[in-house]
Structure 1
């Protein structure tokens, strides 16, 4: 049996006309759903019918129009909106598949491309209704594609229960921020393009205007929008749900001054500040909070200020006490150096104020984490060795392959591991490693330029003119893309170098991710015959009870 998934959409049903066929409790529920979406439900039932009490009340209150007739084919083409030639927008049949009329209405609707839903009859439907959780503008829908509405309802309740309260209100606030940024940046773009000053009435500060120059209008005008996208992607849901008007103001002002703070709506605890300031650089591991070292966990619990990279996972950020101010790096392409400088300056300021500052990084600080650069910077600022402490972390370069069932060193397969970056300083391509059959190579920060990397590995560069030339990688070399390792939405794409670009283009990207290449990739996971790639979703590596362990107990 061929499996399929539905094309899920959200329909703006305001002013639509929905026909409801039936008089039972489900008909009353369908009328309620129609009304809540802004549509106008019309009930088709004989005048002698005994309506369910909830349905009768809606009719009596004037919310539902009742056509006291048996269903006629012309109802589909005469009761709709004038602007679409009176064709109705959707039909809901609530009498079930055993009623002969259900099949007739379904055929007629399908022939005329009118959306139709028949209860308990997926084969007669062109659309189905989701089991929906509603919280203000936030709607979350679950479908089992006709396999069981009770199961969908159960899953929906479980998902809704796992969400923090007030998430709908946060959607409203963040939506207002997005709209305001779009409006202000549009006006700014027009003003600069025309060579005019910006009117003070749009509440735009002069210092924000200074960020945008004639030479780079398009790049600069999007900075706040890109920062807002980073917030939506990387702030933990609990923090997003607790977003305040002050946080919104900070977001709107976030690029007035790169030295300013956009901390998450919490004030510092004065009595918790250390009498002797210091900086702790710590790695947060690959993603799962149980992969933290005890030393880093204790640092999280005792810091006076936490400066976190944007890729530090939500599960780790959730461990931060509510009293502790947090600043998340405002890094995106083109702003990485400025955001790095901002964090370093904030760290030094915090130390000089007598605070214990935790610089929380992903993975391990010294494995492509720029930790060495930061320590060097702090030393130049006069911070002695005892003021700067570096704590190791579990690097994804070694843990991600394990979570993907790839043994980087495997007897008779791979006797060495090489960790490389796929992107050099300022986005330049680094020198590609040569192919060694017994080597497993892990490429970090490579997926955004995967096509270029594969080309560099499998063909000689123009600069490679002298013999002996680098050994090229066979295009059929097994490889794996591992994204969000150890997080609940971990994904592993297994393929070969000649197909990995196509696989990523088709499956999409889910950063952060890395590429593992070498024969070890297929030792425990050979592709099925005829398949060019496979996709594995989810993380199940720590399901033996660690989740409830108190990491600070030692």
Structure 2
């Protein structure tokens, strides 16, 4: 049994109850519903109650259930695999739960999650396909709402499709013994005409199409690589194409900054390999990443190179495509929402604005060449927005260069740490005090700097997470500003 106000984290399981004894304590309407579901699952049902409502009595008379007359007796649990307490007596339900705990029999007390050792989920059924939804017993109405939504979205023909694939399982495995080839066969079936034919009720044509697909020699042993942008962290910002490619991948080479929530969306049997880079520490050299892509693609696997943000915005995606092209590996690119767009949006900062900024520049603080290669005079112009990637370590140098080339000391900035994620922080101020404010708030990577007149809108237009912070570090910051070069 569980206690406390938070619902437990349950382990989902589908139980085979065929021929197994399940005890239902209670003889009323709620018990009748539970008995009906158990009989559908093939359980051998015993109902214990002083009296039964009419439908249950008929089942007992037909010997489809066993009736044990009287008040609950713990010995009723002796042969049970599961038990359901469905009475209107709190004391009786508690007694069933306690007796089950003592005998290691799983007990569900209807509408009492705290007394239950298992929950009966809301279910959506399409033939042999079942989708179970549980809130841990804490929010049953939410589970019911989700079930109603899925009932609308999932076509009834899914049951016929599942039945067809189940009956042909042995033939499919014999035809495609290797897992990757078998997965690709299923993808051809599910994306082909078979589902739509079943939806129309043309079962004969569906079987013929299935047989043709099964006979095709289309294992396609060639591997491929997809460069996929994961966005800044919020899994809701992943594109639909990106999600589909993740679910088709055999191997995923991912950056350190790809969020755990995005990684949770990948297929469970895919191989995950972390190859990320973070400021000040390169976990895997680019040459190693190239070698891994080539190795797995030549082994016939579908490889996803999963990058935070967008592969073509400071993601070295161009270099990786050049490598793949040179080695004859098939590839595709799935764009992601780059950090400048996503983080600015989640901070309420428009990158362009008719009154404040007519252009936006994307800059990285970790260029291949030195900072001297940048056109600082152009970057320091007013009425434009600078989005600086990976720039936490270089903020003092950035400030010095921009001020020296004419950017006003009072130019607003917004530093966005962990943009789009639940722990997002936005720190605001002016260019003159940028490094000191960042240090005062211990800003760490991943963080994006937005510099320009539009950054001042963060305090007014913020909508996600906490309000922006803007505390100046200390009087030492004032002394630091006094020693800065004057803006030209």
Q: Which gives a bigger RCO, structure 1 or 2 (Cα 8 Å, sep 6+)?
A: 2
Task: Give me the TM-score of the superposition, normalised by structure 2.
Answer: 0.48
Task: Give me the TM-score of the superposition, normalised by structure 1.
Answer: 0.43
